[in-house]
Amino acid sequence: MKKYARIILIGLALTTSVLSKASGNAHAEEEKPFDATSHAIHHALDAYEIHLTDNFSIPLPVILWTDNGLVTFMSSAFHHDDEGHLLVERNGMNFAKIHGKIYQVDAGAEHIAFDADNHPTNAHKVTLDFSLTKNVTTMFLVAILLLVIFIRSAKKYNGGKPVAPSGIARWTEPGIVFVQDIAKENIEGDKYKKFTPFLLTLFFFILFGNILGLIPFISNPNMTGSISVTLTLAVITFIIQMANSKGAFWSHILMPPGVPKALYIILVPIEIAGIFIKPAALTIRLFANITAGHIIVVSLISIIFVNKSAAWAGLSVPMTLFISVLELLVAFLQAYIFTMLAALYIGSSVEEAHH
């Protein structure tokens, strides 16, 4: 415990020192009001580069399908024009990065014009954007990690004989058994075997994505903090549920048992709506919980800059450390909840009729 206490105190001292220098530099220049809200929201958005410091970032490939075909370049090609807008010219076309999105500037336009709502009037979004953003890069990294870890783990069982787990299998086997138990509890009979591979992929994909999102600079905040990712996972779960649904599932929805037929006009629409509400709940639950944790961390750190005093680090840094540890728990908890609910929804759709 003394060792960990020393590490925390050293980290707190270093943070205070850095913040003091930053505060001194800020006073040397003309100060601008710190907008904590916009800073927190910006942190939660995706990006076309991996931002490390104010002066250094790792560019990522930009792949666009435009009105005139395919255009590719690195995000580092963007440069500031006279009015501070990020522009790049490729294949006789100009592209601008506005509010974190890439727009194709209309031909002949020398400057970007905006309307009263700060939307560009002489630029339009590209037809298709296949760029490797931070979230996409994180997904590729998670996929590679899953392949490497579980292929190596599977090699421990190539003989087909029961063996004591060793090496990396000592970590993966308890996780696999844990997810298999979730499938057994929620999917009747031997049907769980059919869906266990999907549930395993779902659980470890979310878990690895959540954990990588806790590492600074990896993702912004992480891939499971993007609603497009959580929506895709929920839609895949919904498709599997519907594709394997049995007659008993639809019978309970269209003709609820033990209910007077006069109430069908009320209950049936509710049951049908519930089919679509379930994947929506999966989407929002994962997205909101993961994003909220990161915004809280950024907000706590912002206390220092809002009050313009490094002394506030004595409060915000310990609180940030506590929330970060809590986020580690949430990383496992959200992977479990999403997998458990997916198994529950699939189990209800494949269940046979019981009388």
Q: How far apart are CA 208 and CA 200, in angstroms?
A: 12
**For the CA atoms of 326, 331, 336, 338, what is the dihedral angle to 10 degrees?**
120
> What is the value of pTM for the model shown?
0.78
Q: How far apart are CA 211 and CA 163, in angstroms?
A: 29
For residue 27, is pLDDT > 50?
A: no
How many DSSP H helices and E strands does the chain contain?
A: 9, 10
Domain ranges of the chain: 48-132, 135-157+166-350
For residue 171, is pLDDT > 50?
A: yes
183 and 192 in contact (C-beta within 8 Å)? Answer: yes
Q: How far apart are CA 223 and CA 221, in angstroms?
A: 7
Q: How far apart are CA 212 and CA 138, in angstroms?
A: 8
3-state secondary structure of 348: helix
3-state secondary structure of 177: helix
More confident residue, 342 or 311: 342
pLDDT band at 317 (very low <50, low <70, confident <90, very high): confident
Q: For residue range 214-271, what is the model confidence (pLDDT) as tens digits?
A: 776 554 446 677 788 889 999 999 999 999 988 888 888 888 888 888 888 898 899 8
For residue 7, is pLDDT > 60?
A: no
If you average pLDDT over residues 331-348, what whole number do you get?
Answer: 92
Q: How many CB atoms lie within 10 A of CB 151?
A: 9
Question: Lowest-confidence range among 96-105, 110-119, 120-129, 179-188?
Answer: 110-119
**pLDDT score, position 25:** 46
If you average pLDDT over residues 1-29, what whole number do you get?
Answer: 43
For residue 198, is pLDDT > 50?
A: yes
If you average pLDDT over residues 292-298, what whole number do you get?
Answer: 78
If you average pLDDT over residues 48-62, what whole number do you get?
Answer: 78
